[in-house]
Chains A and B, each alone.
Chain A
Amino acid sequence: MMNQNNLRFGFLETNTLRYSFYAAIAIFILTLTGIFGTFAQRDVIQDTLSLDLVALVLVIGVPALVAGRSSQSDKPVITILNSAIAGLIAATAVILVVLLETIVPQEELMFVFNNYRPIIGGVATLGAGQDNLIMGILGLLALSLILGGIVGGILSLPQRWMLAILSGLGSMVIIGLMAGQIRNLVTPSDALGVVGAFVAGYGAGYATRTIANPWLRRLLGFIAGGAVGIVFLVLGNTGAFAQNGALLLGGDPSIIMGGAVNSSLTMIIGFGIVGLAGLIVTSASSFVHNSAIFLAVVFALLGMLNVQQRMTVIMAIVTFIAFAAATIFIPPLGTQSNKQYRTLSPQQKRSIDVITGVLALVLALVAPVFMGQYITNVLDLVMLYIIMGIGLNVMVGYAGLLDLGYVASFAIGAYTSAILTTPSIFTTGCIPFEPIADARYAEMCTGILTNWQGVGILTFWQAWPIAIVVSAFTGMALGVPVLRLRGDYLAIVTLGFGEMTRVLTRAQITAPVLGAAQGISPVPFPVIDLTSLNPDWYFELSNASTIYYLYIFSVLAAALVVWRLSGSRLGRAWRAMKADEDVAQAMGVPLVRTKLLAFGVSSAFAGLGGAIFAAQLRGIFPDSFTLLVSINVLSLIIIGGLGSIPGVVVGALMLVGLPEVLREIQDYRLLVFGVLLVVVMLLKPDGLIPPPIRQLSKQQKVPQSASPQPNTQ
């Protein structure tokens, strides 16, 4: 926190006053937006904790938290007092609104503030109505003092305990909000089995520390997991589990597994792999270790949620304890595993990294089996934005060309693929209102594609590369007129491209090809037809959880391509150009070609994403191609950290995934998005995961040891 001019009067610090004053203004406005009225209907914990109470606790707690954090004192008493005062000031903002409501006639208040609902008698006055309003206000003041004091007390605890309580409370609220969407993700039997196998593997990892041979250890871990699998198989066959899980018995067969999961052997192997994962993390880097265990905790909680079906009081308590305990106990374990990891030889480290990578991939591939359509849909969207973010990163992060019209390339990819895969004036020369057999297109209609070897329309797989190439070339073509421009001029011209796309896709003038407001539909879904190899291998990528595989493949491919490019001659040329165009040119970087390639490569990824997007929606509509897409992609790469691929993933999860998941607070979603953009940039201007300065540090190390110190001469 910023500590400038933090003076203290008695126990009161100026920071406390400053932050709580800002907070009070924000809370006053927020209360007028009707936040308490909107949230009153939602329960976070069933029949116990409603969302408006959570909102009240948050508006008092957050200022108290900030004030307490900014307090420089070592004495807990002072922190507690400052937090309590901050809470009190925050609560006065709510009370001001209460007073406003008593003074101003209701219809006038609601004429100005359309979404405002009366808060007297609600949670803001602790249930007190007009007649005992004084008691309500006093009660709120007392509550805010106590709450602020509690927050201050939590802050005075050791760091780890504080984090534990906060993460416990936070995850309780988040899981409570999402309970409706995630309650059927994991069956209790699956949760029990998988977590059991993981724990078994983890225990095996600790028990076998003395064994030197890594492969023997891994085998033991596999056996430990498999043993759990056998136990569950036996239990399952006796009918101990009323609900069949996806991994255990029954469940929905996915396209990749093809129902093979039902066989006992696959199940034991699956559990063995989980056991192996449990063992691997005991000697992996702390990041891998900690995230794996958190994942296991979430998995177990999801299983319990499935039994409870709602966020009951017990569920809430268990969630709190689980997350608090995880926050306390996992980091030390992680440090231990990291210590193990550090002592390994480079070769062994590499093998562990490879195994973790493969396990993560397997997890990602199996994930759609568990996740419902909703979560998978969200993940598909996130991955679409990851692909686009990786692409835009080439332009903005590597080449330093600010592009605000990325949606244009995205739209070109989507429309190209949609046009090529549907019958239209352009492709077949006529639009049949009834489906006509492909063979008859050639006779009846003369479009571009029908003239070409009598092909009616293309399949997704044929149209996809064409869409990518078309996107890349249009990207380059758009790049030509703006070659000379830099910085903000480039930004506004590309913004213009984006807006032109928006208008042109809606315009009547382009309607025969682009379909104006109706867009193009139905776009056929991709079909993987391998029946010549095996009669069973016929897969339709027709829903969220199957197109997921197409996305994940594309994300990996895109990340690989960009990762390889970034270290290549071209990547270095981009970075040189970003640093200084004139110097780069002097060093022999061909500016025109390098810039155009940045435009082309970057657009190609948008086209790649666009084509899948068209196939996923089974049609495209101009409403999908607004400036918000460009803004989202640009924001996520900057929030994640410019030029870093993990940053893109984190940014996409945060800016695309989080708002989708928090649909429960629908009305405030975009508001949260906007505030998030500002706050993250204020706290972390370099992004959440800035790219490592790899090249620089490598080169710096060599001259430092080799060259003589300048001081000594």
Chain B
Amino acid sequence: MQETTDSGPSGSKSRPKRALSFLRVQNAYAFIGLVLIVIFAWVFFVIEIEPQFYLQEGERARYAWDTFISQFIIGLAQGSIYALIALGYTLVYGILFMINFAHGEVFMAGAYIGFFAINAAEQSGFLESQTALAILLTMGVAVMGSVIVAILLERIAYRPLRGAPRLVPLITAIGASITLQQLFLRLFGSSPRTYPRISLFVGQGMWGCEPVDGTTVCEGIDLISKSYDVLIFNQEVRIRPFFFVILFVSLLLMSALWFFIQRTKTGKAMRAVAEDKDTASLMGINVDRTIVITFMLGAALAGAGAVLFALYNRQVTPFMGFIPGIKAFTAAVLGGIGNVPGAMFGGLFLGVAESVFPSALGLPNQLKDVVAFGLLIVFMIFRPTGIFGEVLSEKKA
């Protein structure tokens, strides 16, 4: 793809240079490497070198490795949720070249439906007796809810407008987003719904030992709600094991998606439709069905992400999908929209950056959104197609 445009008659070499083009970095991996080096150099400077200039003897630095590590881990967890949502944006964009603005609401719908599932489980005592199974079931129900919303969305708001000017589906997407928000607000009320506080202990007899009445009882590690002090790289850091659960589950889901797209027949059909709809339909691929499947896949990931998010954050409101939706879209663009690994990487990167940067730069945490979007703008200057974006996407977009 890259080569054909470069060597083509209207290739970029023959084009006059545009503004700021000397700043561009051509190779994606070189770019990632460059960014990581800059970031770690800065963090190293802030933690190790800068304090020597102002720190008095015996005083603690305002920013140290333990803060960095815990923020990094929180960022990874947050970022994997962004990545899960971002995949939905990027999948749809890859096929339809449209921003599915209502994707944040698909995420929200998953969280709500998951809430009612887990609430029912709690009422019936199922959650108490079979915690892991109940959470899995909740996730399944949430995924189903998100998928149904996404199918309806595609059927009502997008399919009739295929082939319309590009801005038109954008407006229906915005309309659908507002409609879904307001509908959930009217249906389920404006007061936030709260997920129950869940404890899921693993490794009984091995970890989490405490002396109780003279004997040592090992209740295990609470994977979901509790935080523990752990030594990482010789630094004592307080973390929630749930962060790792989020990261692990997300990576699992993303690999499943990657496998699905690369190895199954439907995945192949999706790639074909993304490449060229007309040719794909000539090859006997049902384009409509493939598009619906794409929406369903994106929604399923968003639904699973929503339950993870809600278990961590616990509060569910009709407007909860909005900010993560925008962030996830930013992540998708950072990674190069339409590109699946790009969305994964972009999500993780944005989550970490948002969590680490404000304090590393000495800014109040309030400004983390500014940092996120500032980062996006800086990235767009250096690499206007996103990290893994095709050179061609400028043309398609």
Residues of A within 8 A of B (CB): 29, 32-34, 112-115, 396, 402, 480-489, 491-493, 495-497, 499-500, 502-504, 506-509, 582, 585, 591-592, 631, 634-635, 638-639, 642, 667-668, 670-671, 673-678, 681-682, 685-686
For B58, the chain A residues whose CB sits under 8 A away are none
Among all A-B residue pairs, the 5 with the closest Cβ atoms: A114-B189, A677-B175, A487-B397, A496-B373, A674-B179
Question: In chain B, residues 12-34, which have Cβ atoms closer than 8 Å to a Cβ of chain A?
Answer: 15-16, 18-21
User: How many whole Å from B24's CB to the nearest CB in chain A?
Assistant: 9
* Cα(A87)–Cα(B326), bound, Å: 41
Contacts of A402 in B (CB 8 A): 167, 170
Q: Closest CB of chain B to A295's CB: distance in Å? A: 30
Q: Are B20 and A635 in contact (CB under 8 A)?
A: no
In the assembled complex, B172 has its CB within 8 A of some CB on chain A: yes
Contact B182–A495 (Cβ < 8 Å): no
Q: What CA separation (Å) do A678 and B172 show in the bound complex?
A: 5
Known: A29-B183, A499-B326. A112 touches B188 (CB 8 A): yes
- Cβ distance B364 to chain A, nearest Cβ, rounded Å: 6
B191 in the interface, Cβ–Cβ < 8 Å? yes
Interface centre among A29, A115, A677 (most CB of B within 10 A): A677
Interface centre among A497, A503, A668 (most CB of B within 10 A): A503
B174 and A481 contacting across the interface, CB-CB below 8 Å? no
Encode B90-122 as 1/0 by CB contact (under 8 A) with A. Answer: 000100010100000000000000001000000
Q: Are A685 and B165 in contact (CB under 8 A)?
A: yes
Show 22 residue pairs from A and B whose CB-CB distance is below 8 angstroms, ordered by the A residue: A113-B188, A484-B20, A484-B21, A485-B394, A489-B380, A492-B333, A493-B380, A495-B329, A497-B373, A500-B369, A503-B369, A508-B366, A582-B10, A634-B174, A670-B182, A671-B178, A673-B178, A674-B175, A674-B176, A674-B182, A681-B168, A682-B161
In the bound complex, do residue B186 and residue A667 qualify as a contact, i.e. CB atoms below 8 Å apart?
A: yes
Q: Please determine whether B171 and A639 come into contact, CB atoms closer than 8 angstroms.
A: yes
Q: How far is the CA of A670 from the CA of B319 in the complex (A)?
A: 13
Q: Is the beta-carbon distance between A496 and B10 smaller than 8 angstroms?
A: no
In the assembled complex, which residues on chain B have CB atoms less than 8 Å from the CB atom of A504? Answer: 367, 370
Separation in Å of the A419 CB from the closest CB of chain B? 20
Chain A residue numbers with a CB within 8 Å of B329 are: 492, 495
B321 to chain A, nearest CB (A): 13
State the CA gap A473–B171 with chains docked (Å). 28
Are the C-beta atoms of A677 and B178 separated by less than 8 Å?
A: yes
- B374: CB under 8 A from chain A? yes
Binding site secondary structure of chain A:
helix
Q: Which of B18, B19, B116, B176 has its CB near the most chain A CB atoms (within 10 A)?
A: B19
| A638 adjacent to B168 (CB under 8 Å) | yes
**Within residues 155 to 169 of chain B, which ones have a CB less than 8 A from any CB in chain A?**
156-157, 160-161, 164-169
Separation of A355 and B160 alpha carbons in the complex (Å): 44
Q: Which residue of B lies closest to A585 (CB)?
A: B16
B394 smallest CB distance to A (angstroms): 6
Q: Is the CB of B188 within 8 A of A483?
A: no
Q: Which residues from B are CB-within-8-Å of A671?
A: 178-179, 182-183, 186
Q: Can you name 6 extra interface pairs (CB under 8 A) apart from A489-B380, A582-B15, A674-B182?
A: A115-B187, A483-B20, A487-B397, A496-B377, A504-B370, A670-B178
Cross-chain contact A113 with B373 (CB below 8 angstroms): no
Other-chain residue from B175, B187, B366 in contact with A676 (beta carbon distance below 8 A):
B175
Per-residue contact bits, chain B 360-397, to A (CB 8 Å; 1 contact, 0 not): 00011011011011101100110011100000001011
A32:B20 contact, CB within 8 angstroms: no
**Residue B330 CB within 8 A of the other chain:** yes
Contact A678 B179 (CB under 8 A): yes
Q: Is the CB of A500 within 8 A of B168?
A: no
A631 and B15 CA atoms in complex are apart in Å by 35
Q: Dominant SS at the B interface?
A: helix
Given the interface pairs A489-B380, A638-B171, the reply to whether A481 lies near B176 with Cβ below 8 Å is no
Q: Which residues of A contact B385 (CB under 8 A)?
A: 489
A493 touching B377 by the CB < 8 A rule? Answer: yes
Taking the closest CB of chain B, its distance from the CB of A83, in whole angstroms, is 23
Interface pair B366/A488, CB less than 8 Å apart? no
Cβ–Cβ contact A507 & B367, under 8 A: yes
Is the pair B167, A484 in contact by a Cβ cutoff of 8 Å?
A: no
Listed in ascending order, the chain B residues whose CB lies under 8 Å from chain A are: 10, 15-16, 18-21, 93, 97, 99, 116, 156-157, 160-161, 164-172, 174-183, 186-191, 326, 329-330, 333, 337, 363-364, 366-367, 369-370, 372-374, 376-377, 380-381, 384-386, 394, 396-397
CA distance in complex: A487, B337 (Å): 12
Known: A114-B189, A114-B191. A483 touches B172 (CB 8 A): no
State the CA gap A496–B20 with chains docked (Å).
20
Q: Are A678 and B186 in contact (CB under 8 A)?
A: no
- Of listed B166, B169, B329, B377, residue having the most chain A CB within 10 A: B377
* A residues in contact with B174, CB < 8 Å: 631, 634-635, 677
> Which among A488, A585, A681 is the interface contact of B172 at CB below 8 angstroms?
A681
Q: A677 — nearest CB in chain B belongs to which residue?
A: B175
Contact of A491 among B16, B99, B171, B188 (CB under 8 A): B99
- CB pair A484–B168 under 8 Å, yes or no, is no
Contact assessment for B171 and A481 in the assembled complex, using a CB-CB cutoff below 8 Å: no
* A509/B171 contact (C-beta < 8 A), A484-B384, A685-B161 known: no
Contacting pair B178 A484 (CB below 8 A) = no
Contact: B377 with A481, CB < 8 Å? yes
User: Chain A nearest CB: distance from B32 CB in Å?
Assistant: 19
Cα distance A678–B174 when bound, in Å? 8
Contacts of B10 in A (CB 8 A): 582
Q: Which one of A488, A634, A677 lies within 8 Å of B333 (CB-CB)?
A: A488
**A-chain residues with CB within 8 Å of residue B376 when the two chains form the complex:** 492-493, 496
CB < 8 Å neighbour of A396 from B19, B21, B167, B372: B167
Instruction: Please determine whether A681 and B397 come into contact, CB atoms closer than 8 angstroms.
Output: no
CA distance A481 to B169 in the complex (A): 27
- List chain A residues, Cβ under 8 A from B384: 484-485, 489
A678 touches B156 (CB 8 A): yes
Complex contacts, A495 vs chain B, CB 8 Å = 326, 329
CB-CB under 8 A from B363, the residues of chain A are 509
CB distance A499 to B189 under 8 Å? no
B191 touches A674 (CB 8 A): no
With contact pairs A29-B183, A402-B167, A509-B367 given, residues A678 and B380 touching in the complex (Cβ less than 8 Å): no
Whether B370 contacts A503 by the Cβ 8 Å rule is: yes
**Which residue of B175, B186, B370 is within 8 Å of A500 (Cβ)?**
B370
Chain A residues, CB < 8 A from B160: 682
Contacts of B175 in A (CB 8 A): 635, 673-678, 681
The answer to whether A675 touches B20 (Cβ under 8 A) is no
Residues of the B chain whose Cβ atoms lie less than 8 Å from the Cβ of A113: 187-189
B177's nearest neighbour on chain A, judged by CB, is: A674
Is A507 within 8 A of B397, CB to CB? Answer: no
CB nearest to B115 among chain A residues: A112
Residues of A within 8 A of B367 (CB): 503-504, 507, 509
Complex Cα–Cα for A112 and B166 (A): 38
Knowing A508-B366, A681-B175, A682-B160 are in contact, say whether A492-B330 is a contact too (CB < 8 A).
yes
Contact partners of B180 in chain A: CB under 8 A: 674
Q: Which residues of A contact B99 (CB under 8 A)?
A: 488, 491-492
A635-B187 contact in complex given A487-B397, A496-B330, A507-B367, C-beta closer than 8 Å: no
Q: Is the pair B373, A638 in contact by a Cβ cutoff of 8 Å? A: no
Contacts of B15 in A (CB 8 A): 582
Known: A114-B188, A114-B189, A685-B164. A482 touches B370 (CB 8 A): no
Cα separation A506 to B366 with both chains bound (whole Å): 9
A499 touches B172 (CB 8 A): no
Smallest beta-carbon distance B98→chain A, Å: 8
Bound CA–CA A592/B20 (angstroms): 11
Question: Which of B177, B330, B366 is in CB contact (< 8 Å) with A503?
Answer: B366
B residues near A114, Cβ cutoff 8 Å: 187-191
Q: Which residues of A contact B18 (CB under 8 A)?
A: 483-484, 591-592
> Shortest beta-carbon distance, A476 to chain B, in Å?
12
Q: Which residue of B lies closest to A487 (CB)?
A: B397
CA distance A396 to B18 in the complex (A): 22
Give the docked Cα–Cα distance between A497 and B186 (Å): 31
* Assembled-state Cα–Cα distance A112/B123 (Å): 14
